[in-house]
Amino acid sequence: MTLERKVAKLFRLTDETWMKHANPWSVYTRYSVLPFIVLAFWSRVWIGWWCLVPGLVAILWMFFNPVLFSKPKSTKNWASKSVLGERVYLNRDNVRIPDIHITPLYTILNIISSVGMLLSIWAIVYYSIWGAILGVALAYLGKSWYLDRMVWLYESMKSENEDYKKWEY
């Protein structure tokens, strides 16, 4: 089982919820999670332990976001295709992906994103505004580039697999 499949199980992504997550509103609003977490825990100076409330709300938003939106009216857009590409990549142990997509770039981009997350956490602890800005920027750079590669993967695979082709409407 791939790491991505384990993460999908954690988020309880089924065929139906994958399609809900392919709604562009779901994709773009998830970009709000990291800044809200940073701001929530940064606010501990002003509101003390009450900072846990907006922090918890942001974390819950991250988990429930994929199921809160309806299926998109169309999946012929970048955001939807990025989610469909993630689904294709997750399924690579069952349906082979082209050699050009078997690359360490995906791992590197996830590492960049993770370094950004860790830097953001460090910045929260030490109240570093520049660390927070750089951390969020790195996290989003890595994630956005990764999602763009997932669009490319989906575009490559939809003509190869009948199930994948049906996801685009």
Q: Dihedral through CA 96, CA 102, CA 106, CA 107, nearest 10?
A: 110
Nearest to 139 by CA among 36, 64, 63: 36
**Residues 148-163 pLDDT 10s:** 999 999 999 999 899 9
Q: Determine the average pLDDT of the residues in 114-141.
A: 96
13: pLDDT strictly greater than 80: no
pLDDT of residue 145: 98
pLDDT of residue 30: 93
Q: Determine the average pLDDT of the residues in 56-74.
A: 92
Distance between CA 102 and CA 74 in Å, rounded? 28
In the chain the beta strands, taken as DSSP E runs, fall at none
Q: Binning pLDDT at 50, 70 and 90, where does residue 2 land?
A: low
Q: What angle do CA 47, 51, 56 make, to 5 degrees?
A: 160
pLDDT of residue 66: 85
Q: Dihedral through CA 20, CA 4, CA 110, CA 57, nearest 10?
A: 50
5: pLDDT strictly greater than 80: no
Q: What is the pTM of this model?
A: 0.87
Structural domain for 150, as ranges? 3-166
Number of domains in the chain: 1
pLDDT of residue 1: 64
32: pLDDT strictly greater than 90: yes
φ, ψ of residue 96 to 5 degrees: the values are: -60, 135
Nearest to 67 by CA among 83, 43, 55: 83
